[in-house]
């Protein structure tokens, strides 16, 4: 076991048993036949803190982890898309709303997810169309002003992003 996670036992390319060895400054599983190195990479997620009429769009989670809590529309980046595409796709899937990204809000790592560690890239955005309706892994879509946010925000990275948004909105008032 490396870094608390079970790595591959056999090479996914040639099926040779992998051996632990020091590679690139860390102990990793390596294939002696084809040279494959098993890197324990974090998952990459992307999400959007988007506003509509001065309110932020949040979704209530319909799945574990954090079932029933509120969060920013977000999800994992797929192998064939960039983080911006993933953020836009997840926003539409979870809210029924179209969003235009307006900038980068925050990039954070997390380690307290049962699915493994990850990096989340959060963008700022503006809703540009659609009608709110929950979809995908959301049970509800809500719009909240800076002083009316729900207390049960699912993830520390999302709570931090909402605090940054609140500070920005209050500074502009």
pLDDT tens-digit map of 10-46: 999 999 999 999 999 999 999 999 999 998 889 999 9
Say what the pLDDT of residue 173 is: 62
Q: What integer pLDDT is reported at residue 1 of this predicted model?
A: 47
Q: Are 17 and 34 in contact (CB under 8 A)?
A: no
Q: Is 90 a catalytic residue?
A: no
Q: Active site residue: 51, 78, 93, 140, which one?
A: 140
CB 59 within 8 A of CB 92: no
Which superfamily does CATH assign the domain made up of 43-172 to? Answer: Nucleoside Triphosphate Pyrophosphohydrolase (3.90.79.10)
Question: Right CATH number for 1-40 from 2.20.70, 1.10.3470, 2.30.29, 1.10.287?
Answer: 2.20.70
Output the pLDDT for position 4. 54
- Ordered by start, the domain boundaries in the chain are 1-40, 43-172
DSSP 58-109: EEEE-SSSSTT-EE-SEEEPPTTS-HHHHHHHHHHHHHSEEEEEEEEEEEEE
3 state DSSP class of 34: coil
Q: What confidence tens digit (pLDDT) does each residue in 159-171 have?
A: 999 999 999 888 7
Instruction: Encode the chain (173 residues) as per-residue pLDDT tens digits.
Output: 445 556 789 999 999 999 999 999 999 999 999 999 998 889 999 999 999 999 999 999 999 999 999 999 999 999 999 999 999 999 999 999 999 999 999 999 988 877 788 999 999 999 999 999 999 899 999 999 999 999 999 999 999 999 999 998 887 76
**C-alpha–C-alpha distance, residues 138 and 152, integer Å:** 15
């Amino acid at each position: 076991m490396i870094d608390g996670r079970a790595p591959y036992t056999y090479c996914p390319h040639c099926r040779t048993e992998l051996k632990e060895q020091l590679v690139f400054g860390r102990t990793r599983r390596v294939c002696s036949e084809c040279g494959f190195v098993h890197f324990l990479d974090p998952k990459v997620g992307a999400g959007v803190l988007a506003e509509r009429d001065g309110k932020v769009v949040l979704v209530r989670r319909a799945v574990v982890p954090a079932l029933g809590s509120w969060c920013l529309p977000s999800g994992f980046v797929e192998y064939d898309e960039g983080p911006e595409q993933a953020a836009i796709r997840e926003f539409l899937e979870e809210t029924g709303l179209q969003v235009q990204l307006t900038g980068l809000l925050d990039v954070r790592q997390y380690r307290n997810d049962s699915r493994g560690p990850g990096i989340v890239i959060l963008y700022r955005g503006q809703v540009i169309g659609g009608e709110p309706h929950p979809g995908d892994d959301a049970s509800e879509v809500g719009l909240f002003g800076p002083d009316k946010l729900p207390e049960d925000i699912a993830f520390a990275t999302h709570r931090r992003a909402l605090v940054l948004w609140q500070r920005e909105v209050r500074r502009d008032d």
